[in-house]
Structure 1
Amino acid sequence: MSTPTFESFTDQSLDEGFDEIIVREWAPQLELATHTHPFDVSAYVARGEYWLTVGDQVKHLKAGDFFRLARDVPHAELYGAEGATVWVARAN
């Protein structure tokens, strides 16, 4: 898949039923303890890297990676040395 633009990410996300599109900037070395969200997520890592832990599985996500996470799924996040920019589509 080619590198998306924010516009193409937004258009595709809205077509898929997501109703809120945001850009999140995460600080270097930020660690977020296990938590949940009351919305489904479809996301694209635009810059940087981080580790997403769901249960016993740790995913190393870096620039260019897409991922999805269902609402109410417990997860933790650890951001890399440069932090990260993540485009996030939410289905509230």
Structure 2
Amino acid sequence: MTEMTAFQQRLRREGFIEGDVKALEPGMTMAEHDHPFDVCALVIDGEIALTIEGTETAYGPGDVFTMAAGCAHAEKIGHAGVRYLVGRRHPCPES
């Protein structure tokens, strides 16, 4: 079983909408923002650095990163760009 196949199975098991492969250009940056959905992503190649609450963490090939809906973060893409497989999961509405 390939790493991507295993990751896609994880997404299904954990209730994520199966992913898109997203590619971002080298050196691209995104100011702090958030998403209305949970994120679970597997880096395929390249590098992405996420800054959350002032702490920057870099992710490269084979790394998985997750963020809960509403998590404020900034993004910085490495010199070779990045491609990652990302799953999204919308939180259940409160009763």
What TM-score does the superposition give when structure 2 sets the normalisation length? 0.87
- The separation in 1 between residues aligned to 2:2 and 2:62, in whole angstroms, is 7
| Structure 1 portions without partners, runs of 5+ | none
Alignment of structure 1 residues 29-44 onto 2, 5 Å: 29-44=27-42
Q: Which aligned runs of 4 or more in structure 1 are off by greater than 2 angstroms?
A: none
Are the aligned partners of 1:22 and 1:87 in contact in 2 as well (CA < 8 Å)?
yes
Are the aligned partners of 1:44 and 1:88 in contact in 2 as well (CA < 8 Å)?
yes
| Structure 2 portions without partners, runs of 5+ | 91-95
What TM-score does the superposition give when structure 1 sets the normalisation length? 0.90
- The separation in 2 between residues aligned to 1:50 and 1:91, in whole angstroms, is 21
Q: Percent identity?
A: 36
Larger gyration radius, structure 1 or structure 2? 2
Tell me, yes or no, if structure 1 residue 79 matches structure 2 residue 77: yes
Q: Deviations over 1:47-88 (max 9, x none)?
A: 001210001111011111111100011100000111000110
- The alignment's C-alpha RMSD in Å is 1.5
Residue correspondences, number:
90
